[in-house]
Each structure stands twice: as C-alpha cells, then as structure tokens.
Amino acid sequence: MHRKMKPAALGVLAAGMAASLLGGCSGDNNNNNGAGAGPSAGASSSASASAGSSPSASDSKPIELTWGIHMQATAVVNDSPVQKWLEQKFNVKIKPVKVTDASIASGEVPDLFMLGDPSNVSAYQSQGVLMDLDKSMIQEKMPEYYKDVEQSDPLFQTVTFDDKLWAIPMYIDLKPYDFAMVWRKDWLDKVGITKTPETLDEYEKAVYAFANNDPDGNGKKDTYGLTGTATSTWSTGFYSIFGAYGVEPTMWQEKNGQIVNGSVAPEAKEALTKLRQWYKDGVIDPEFVTDTQDSYRKKLYNNRVGVIEDQISKAATDDGAVVAAMKEVNPNAKLELGLNPEGPGGRGTWDWGIKSNYIVLGTQVKKDPAKLEKIFEILRAESSDEETINMTSMGEKGKQWDFAEAGATSGATKYLSGFEKQEQLDAVGVRLFSLGNITTREYREKYSNPAINDAVRKYSSAPNWTDALLYSALPSDGKYKSDLTALTQKYFAQFISGEVPLDDFDKYVAEWNAKGGEQLTKEANELYEKQFKK
C-alpha cells in the first residue's frame, strides 16, 4: 500500500545529496578497478537491437533533449565525442546542463536527470517539477532492467509520494564502497600480533599496542591506535565500533518491532563509554573531532594511526586507491583488510544498503509523447545495451580504457594513459551521460572485478546493517534532520573527549527529542508500518 506522504521541504536537498555522494553510490555500476564513476566498458554488442535503439541513419527530425549531466561532474562539456555518439545513435539533439537547486528553482528543469537520494526526489517533487511514473511503464519500456530491480521492490516505496511514483530507482548488489577495517599489517607484526583482529577485544588489544609500543620504531610516543571523524554530513564516525554494540548513530533501525534512531539508543551510550575510555588512555587521536576521511587516510600512510575504516575496494587489490597511495608515501608499509570487529551487539558498520541513485524526468516530458518514448529508448539502452553503457561510462576500448588482463573479454578494467583522472574523461564526455547503477545484473557480472567481489563478500557487514526505511524522506526531515545530526555530532565528540560527562546522555536524548527527534520517530514508525514492514 502506498502512503500519502507530505513531501519534504527543499531544505533537506543539500544534506541528502551530500549523504548520497559520501556513501560512494553516486554512479559506480559495478566493482571494477577503474577510477571515476563508471563501470567497466566492453566491446560493442548486438544488444543494441534488443535494447530498442534506433538506427543512426534515421531520416526523421532529431528530438531535442535537455540532459542533466552526472551529479558529480564539475562542469558542462558541449559537443563532446560521447554526446555526438549518443546524438547519432538515437537521433536526438542533446543540450547538456548542470542541475543545481538554483537552476531548478529558476524553472530550468532538464528532461532527464539523476538524483542521489529519496530526499532529493521529494524536494523536487514538492516543487512540481517532476513527472510522475508508474511501475508498469518501467516494466514495459525497460523489461530487462525491471526484471532485476523488482527483486528490490522496497526501493520503489522510497520515492512514492501522494500515491504516485516519482523516480526510477537504481539498486546495487555487491557494494565496493562498503566499509571494512584497513590495518597496518607491518604495525601488527611489529607489536607481535599475528592474527588480524576480528573481535572487539582483539581490536582493542591492537590499538592499545599501536599507541604504546612504538610500532613505527622511532623511539617516540607519537602514534595512536585510531582516529575518526565528526565532520560528515550524515553520521558521527567510529561506525564499526558503534556497530559492535548493535547500533549506528543517525540511522533508523528496527528494534522489537519499533523504529528507533541509533543516535539515542541505549547501545550508543555503551559504545561511547568504550570510546571515551580509549580517548582517555591516549589510544584515539585527539584530532578526531576535525579529521575527515581524507585526513585519516593520510594519518595511516604517515605513521600516526594503525587502523582506519575505508571502502573495501580501495584496499582489496594492489592498485586500490588506498594501497596505491600508501606505496607512494610509505613503500615499505603493508596494508591488510580486516573484518569489522564483533562485539556484544554483533558485527557491523554504516551501510547504504541496496539503494543507489534515482532517474527522474521533468514534468514537461509528460506533454510530449515522442520525447517520452525516446527517453525510454535511451534508458533501456543505458541499462541493457553494452555498447551504450560502455561508451557513456568508459569511452572507447583501446583509447580510454582496456581490460586489466591482456586478452580478457570480461572482468576488471583499467584506464589508459591520458585518461587516469576523471577530469580527463569528463573532457571527452565520459561519465557526463552515464546513468550509473541502472545496468542489469547480467552486465554487472560480466564487467565486475572478481577480486573486489570476493573481498566484498568476505568483509562487508551488509545486508543486515542499513536504514530500515532505505533512507526515505520523512515529512519533517527538512525541518529537523540536519540540526539533529549536528546536535548528535557535537554531543558525541564531547562525550568521547570527556568534555561532557556520560551522565548527560539522558539530557542529550531529551534535547534530541524536544528538537524534532520525537516527531521524526513518530513519522518513521508510520512510514515503516505503511510501506516497509514485512
């Protein structure tokens, strides 16, 4: 049953977009090794015919199409090779545009664009700029993709408002951006720990040894076990430690049939108690309050901390981003992936779940049947036609990319010289017109990296650790959510550092409830009952 939901206010948009980008799900179709936001790209396929693409030599007048370029692209590139390729293949004339709050507010609504989060969809829908859809339309026009995405049917509920569907959801299975532990294996060896820690007790033993036993061998007490971050827009840091107590701050979780927020759950206080003790004992870097994911990676490379949380794909292979960066800074160091520590509440960390991004259409498209038909022709190809997916996501084989293994016809890929950086790919239109995780499972299996897939299966805590509402927008999110996240980050940093006594946790919970948490909890339970409860 669809819930009649009041759309969230526009104010939630920026936070929602930031959250989606920080989670790493902004456009990776699969688990390849390549830089940038696209999937591996393969050779052209005859699938274009089955995907419904039109002949390039069509005599009909091209349909004009305004296309919102990929959300992470910094600038519009007009008349790029990829744009011209799309125009010829589909007999369209594309006007690429950058989508911003300001452009939408001014009435410049693209015919086709991508949004990162249900809150973004809700915010734009509330302005009346989106076209409503229905599942039968998607099933008819994109049958290959629909067969796969319907297996994740709750995703449709995340963008159903006023009994109507407002976006085509993307999904992701094996998620290379899931978090796991990245250990300085050479430090573990130096302090005499031969087994990579798997439990919270083993983790604690290791981080104390890193802080106290001079793992870098410089004769100084200048190392810490770990650091965190209180600077994200979506949570509090130390995700795996909270997860060991069965909770994730700011996430909606189901507990005994009720939806509760991890920020105010009793288990959060237990985790804070542990973190506070570690901080007092000099195990946590005192700069954790201002550290970011980027800065704590550098601290791992530069012998300041011995373990961080990071995306599995970044440390699963020799050319993963974290491994490669470590080799540049500290070539004699060794890194090793590890499981998130198991504690009294289980094993887990923050997880974005099956949700990826969303495809939306401007409301004006509803009045133009020919344009609507053409958009779905393109969408079908972007989801199931190798030729189209490959060109928009990676470019030309042998020019921008190739398979990592010589002679391979599937699996991991690599960017070629001159196209290692995303801005180099953007300049020729690669990624600008990619629609990310809208590809079929068949395509993903063919072009994914087996080594990363295996690492995700081994180290990820998913699918059990994700938001019970799949990060759906609540009616009052725009009014309260960002302020409550900031309140939680402030208090948790103070609890950990000892600035505020842990006895004030109940005071914090009362303040959280009074400043909108109680209302959001009510709305979260209503939404869960009507749309998500099995």
Task: Give the integer Cα–Cα distance in Å for 302 and 510.
Answer: 41
The amino acid sitting at 361 is L
202-243 pLDDT, tens per residue? 999 999 999 999 999 999 999 999 999 877 778 889 999 999
pLDDT of 281 reads 98
- Name the helix (H) or strand (E) containing 92: strand 92-97
Mean pLDDT score of the chain, rounded to an integer? 88
What are the domain boundaries of the chain? 63-175+353-459, 179-350+474-533
**Residue 284 · residue 211 · CB < 8 Å:** no
63-175+353-459 and 179-350+474-533 agree in CATH topology: yes
Task: Give the integer Cα–Cα distance in Å for 384 and 443.
Answer: 7
Task: Give the integer Cα–Cα distance in Å for 470 and 168.
Answer: 15
* Confidence class for position 533, pLDDT limits 50, 70, 90: confident
Q: How far apart are the first and last CA of the chain?
A: 12
The whole-model pTM stands at 0.81
| Average pLDDT over every residue of 79-95 | 98
Distance (Å) of CA 284 to CA 231, 287, 486: 16, 8, 21
pLDDT at 133 over 80: yes
pLDDT of 534 reads 75
CA atoms within 13 A on the CB side of 140: 6
* Confidence class for position 37, pLDDT limits 50, 70, 90: very low
pLDDT at 466 over 90: no
CA atoms within 13 A on the CB side of 63: 21
pLDDT at 311 over 90: yes
pLDDT of 59 reads 62
* Confidence class for position 162, pLDDT limits 50, 70, 90: confident
pLDDT of 76 reads 95
Distance (Å) of CA 56 to CA 92, 344, 384: 10, 61, 18
May I ask the CATH class of domain 63-175+353-459?
Answer: alpha beta
Place of tokens 């759950």: 265
Task: Give the integer Cα–Cα distance in Å for 476 and 483.
Answer: 12
pLDDT of 27 reads 40
- Beta pairing, strands 335-338 & 92-97: unpaired
287-309 pLDDT, tens per residue? 999 998 889 999 999 999 999 99
Task: Give the integer Cα–Cα distance in Å for 237 and 308.
Answer: 11
pLDDT more than 70, % of the chain? 89
- Name the helix (H) or strand (E) containing 525: helix 518-527
332-384 pLDDT, tens per residue? 999 999 999 999 999 999 888 888 999 999 999 999 999 999 999 999 999 99
Residues 420, 426, 432, 433, CA torsion sign: negative
| Average pLDDT over every residue of 82-104 | 96
| Average pLDDT over every residue of 412-426 | 91
Q: Residue 95 pairs with which residues in a beta bridge?
A: 66
258-292 pLDDT, tens per residue? 999 999 999 999 999 999 999 999 999 999 999 98
pLDDT of 293 reads 84
**Residue 13 · residue 119 · CB < 8 Å:** yes
Distance (Å) of CA 118 to CA 30, 313, 440, 477: 21, 25, 21, 11
| Average pLDDT over every residue of 317-323 | 92
37-41, 94-98, 408-412: lowest mean pLDDT where? Answer: 37-41
Query: If DSSP codes are grouped into helix, strand and coil, which group holds residue 360?
Result: strand
May I ask the CATH class of domain 179-350+474-533?
Answer: alpha beta
Angle CA(303)–CA(309)–CA(312) in degrees, nearest 5? 110
| Average pLDDT over every residue of 474-502 | 96
